Amino acid sequence: MKGKVVLITGAGSGIGRATALLFASNGADAIVLGDINKDKLNQVAEEIRELGAEATTIEMDVSDPVSVENGFELIQAKYQKIDVLVNSAGICLVTPFNEITVAEWNSVMNTNLLGTFLCCQEAIKNMAAHGIKGAIVNISSIAGKVGGQAAGAHYAASKAGVNCLTFAAARHAAKYGIRVNAVAPGPIDTDMTKVWDVEVKTRLSANTPLGHFGKAQDVAEAIFFLASSKASHITGEVLDINGGALMD
């Protein structure tokens, strides 16, 4: 990752934070952190600087096209390029099916699916314009393949959309030498899953052959691999990270 500029959305916590720290500890020159939580961004930025990498924070709302465009313009102005994009920004709600409002549905879709699309679009345009054979890694979910077992229908639908978006983006970007992949975590021990009922967590763990939730670091390692030269012939892949909960 030496010499690479890496943008990670949703970098203030969970998988995004773990991924940012992993890139920083493995030689990336600059980590650009995008999130709507300024305080969390600043905290992660300090952790990155302690690891010897440069960190830049951008308050970015991925559901807002103007915010995304402005964020990429800032990156271009400061670094003149982007090598890796990790689309980690997302929200997970557990609202029962019959109680999901249109407003809540749109909120989840706009963050998880539209936000991923907007950032992919901007990153591919930037990479192609500068002749950079970069890498994009999206965050999907096991819910996008089997429906939400704990998360809401809107979350599951948004992640199914991320899967197909990944395939379409990979086909489009291949002519530029840009790779687009996704990871599909099962239940991961993060703030996002802390709101789940104990009964749900127990049931999901019991249905996982490895017997426990994954860690954010488990997902970060897979993201790092897909973004690295070791995955140079992998594109259009959705990599399961679920302890065997889904084998497909």
Instruction: List active site positions.
Output: 155
In Å, the largest CA–CA distance within the chain is 51
Q: Which residues contact 222 (CB under 8 A, 6 or more apart)?
A: 183, 239, 241
**Residue 240 DSSP class:** E
**Residue 85 parent element (H or E):** strand 84-87
> By the 8 A CB rule, do 91 and 108 touch?
yes
Cα dihedral: 208, 213, 216, 217 (round 10): -70
In angstroms, the CA 42 to CA 89 distance is 16
Q: Which residues contact 106 (CB under 8 A, 6 or more apart)?
A: none
